[in-house]
Amino acid sequence: MIAASPIPDAGSAERPRVLLADDHPALLALTAAALAGECLVAGSVRDGSELLTEAERLHPVPEILSKL
């Protein structure tokens, strides 16, 4: 796992909890920055295996996947 929010927030209807996944660290950082005002970025990972592990642990909403 690359990063996780230190805030133990479950998210809300106004600010959903999201988990980001991409194999490009710069894209992860840009995406996290872009979403920070609208979402609680619960964490970010670099591959599909980490994504599955962290999704099970963090229960992000929504789960949106693209090709990893």
**23 part of a folded domain:** yes
**pTM flag (> 0.75):** no
Beta strand segments in the chain, E: 3-4, 17-21, 40-45
- What's residue 46's pLDDT? 92
**Average model confidence (pLDDT) for the chain?**
79
Percentage of residues of the chain with pLDDT beyond 70: 71
**59 part of a folded domain:** yes
Cβ of 15: how many Cβ atoms within 10 Å? 12
Q: Is 29 exposed, middle or buried (0-12, 13-18, 19+ CB in 10 A)?
A: middle
Q: What is the domain count for the chain?
A: 1
> What domain range includes position 21?
17-68
